[in-house]
Amino acid sequence: MTLLRDPLLNKGTAFTAQERHELGLRGLLPPCVLTMETQVERVLVNLRTLPTDLEKYVALNALHDRNEALFFRVVVDNIDEIQPIIYTPTVGLACQKYGLIFQRPRGMFISSRDRGQIAAILENWPYPAKLIVVTDGERILGLGDLGANGMGIPVGKLSLYSACAGVHPELCLPIVLDVGTNNEELLNDPYYLGLCERRLTGEAYDSFVDEFMVAARKTFPGVLIQFEDFANHSAFKLLHKYRDEACVFNDDIQGTAAVALAGLFSALRVNGGKLRDQRILFLGAGEAATGIADLVTSAMMAEGASEAEALRSNWLVDSRGLVVSGREGLSGHKLRYAHTDQAPIADFLTAIKTLKPTAIIGVAAVGGAFTPDVLKAMAALNEQPIVFALSNPTSKAECSAEDAYRYTEGRALFACGSPYDPVKLNGRTFVPRQGNNSYIFPGVGLGVIASRSRLVTDEMFMAAAHTLADCVGKEDLAQGSLYPALPRIREVSVRIAAAVADVAFQRGLADGPAPNDVKDLVQSQMYEPKY
Ligand code: NAD
């Protein structure tokens, strides 16, 4: 019975007659022995009868809790269909309803009441974690402060690590640092499962996170820690504090940057432009926007632009208008892009008409912000405008794929943060693909773990961006796809992981000498969901 209840060992109705005999399972299962293929089919049949994505999310979670191999087989073989359920956009709703749909805990909840005992608490985790995804729930997707309900995000991301890059589920540990919430609705919600108190701030917050960081690295030596969905005042601070001493990265800043840069490389293959000649206008000036702008700046410099030229090719619009020099109260991460000799501009459309960008990138979580007028303005300025509507979930997307193509007469080079169906326009079918960091972080994590790198560097994200772009074929570009098809994700992740591990070996960050074949090393460590 213990075996049937252990998701890492359970095969359910697929235990063979001999296994049932040897393991004392006879009589505990119905007599028919199913193959894994039939089990997968049955899961899909059941799933497809469920009326809402949230119900599908709950059903898949339950499967994950019962039979890990079967869950991952279903995900890996049906990634196009399942990723939007276990990750964005459905995971956003799942976080909002977390207290209501909660069935079994997954991951670890470390609250500010655990101060002083975090190391002892981490010892309760029964597996040897090599990869932690941690959030404090303050900025979940574009949905704001969801407190401990944010656990859905580390859980979802780690599922993608195992599905998309074969990081073994046993090595993955999702963590919520529950430091309270300032979300009034949650504080008044009888089903909210986190601490019903306001967020810890200032020195109390910093020392709590620091205790966690020390404890995590002591309990799980060499562990890779991914910061996820922290509000931007904490995200930049934590990344800068730990990136040179610990194996950490922030996916919202660095992973997003790599996926967006890869999309730009693809778009430029279509319109024949050079990156260093682009003028990019961001809607948003937070983690995603400045992360992308920083990596784009480095890539422009690699093409020969001076730092000043590269920086001036990137412009940010935040909730108070264009970021320009002299504007009061600008946070530190925006300062590089606060350009001189430009008067303040209050709105995005005027900024487009004034700055004449070749590309607009939406990462402000303001749904519908790329209005028909914005899209028409981009089409008037550019033969093939680059339009990336990257905000999540779908309700926060700057525009739909259909609008992007329709209002640019099918000329937009488009990528989206949420999945959209193909669009038919003027006899052409466009297949938009997600500029989602799920193309990047699984491969980066696998590469870091396989090489046992001490640090995660920007050079690794640059390598990841180039590798992802190299995976896009001519046939993808011909149909408007700036990313490879999702079902190729494991092959793409292997290539990204090998590129990342290469950087680790070349820079002396890896633990041990470089192997003859880095790709072999990476592949040898991948988890394959099978019995
Ligand atoms: P953030 O909170 O760090 O930044 C949001 C920014 O938007 C802030 O600079 C804010 O000033 C600005 N903003 C808010 N209202 C605005 C308005 N009306 N006009 C202009 N700017 C406005 O968040 P983030 O981490 O940068 O994420 C932003 C969005 O990008 C979220 O929806 C997130 O889900 C999405 N995102 C998508 C991906 C992806 O892979 N597609 C990756 C990371 C983030």
From the list 11, 56, 130, 157, the catalytic residue is 157
Catalytic residue status for 157? yes
Cβ of 448 closer than 6 Å to ligand 1, yes or no, is: no
Q: Which atom of ligand 1 is nearest to the CA of 418?
A: 41
Burial of 480 (0-12, 13-18, 19+ CB in 10 A): buried
Ligand 1 centre to CA of 365 (Å) is 5
Q: Which domains does the chain have, with CATH numbers?
A: 35-246 (3.40.50.10380), 254-437 (3.40.50.720)
Residue-wise pLDDT tens digits, 303-327? 999 999 999 999 999 999 999 999 9
Ligand 1 centre to CA of 371 (Å) is 17
Cβ of 437 closer than 6 Å to ligand 1, yes or no, is: yes
Residue-wise pLDDT tens digits, 356-377? 999 999 999 999 999 999 999 9
CA–CA dist 506, 137 (Å, integer):
36
Q: Which atom of ligand 1 is nearest to the CA of 256?
A: 42
pLDDT at 353: 98
Contact partners, residue 43, CB within 8 Å, separation at least 6? 63, 70, 74
- Whether residue 98 contacts residue 152, with contact meaning beta carbons closer than 8 Å, is answered with yes
Cβ of 390 closer than 6 Å to ligand 1, yes or no, is: yes
pLDDT at 448: 98
Pure H helices in 127-273: 152-165, 184-187, 202-219, 232-242, 256-271
- Whether residue 307 contacts residue 381, with contact meaning beta carbons closer than 8 Å, is answered with no
Ligand 1 centre to CA of 289 (Å) is 7
Single-letter amino acid, residue 191: Y
Catalytic residue status for 87? yes
pLDDT at 362: 98
pLDDT at 418: 84
pLDDT at 225: 98
pLDDT at 346: 96
pLDDT at 164: 98
Cβ of 349 closer than 6 Å to ligand 1, yes or no, is: no
From the list 87, 98, 407, 527, the catalytic residue is 87
Cβ of 95 closer than 6 Å to ligand 1, yes or no, is: no
Cβ of 286 closer than 6 Å to ligand 1, yes or no, is: yes
Mean pLDDT by 10 residues, the chain (531 residues): 94 98 97 98 98 98 97 97 95 95 96 97 97 97 95 97 97 98 97 97 98 98 97 94 97 97 98 96 96 97 96 97 94 94 96 98 96 98 98 93 97 94 96 94 98 97 98 97 97 98 97 94 97 96
The secondary structure of residue 251, as a DSSP letter, is I
Cβ of 481 closer than 6 Å to ligand 1, yes or no, is: no
Q: Whose CA is nearest to atom 36 of ligand 1?
A: 391
Contact partners, residue 477, CB within 8 Å, separation at least 6? 266, 269, 270
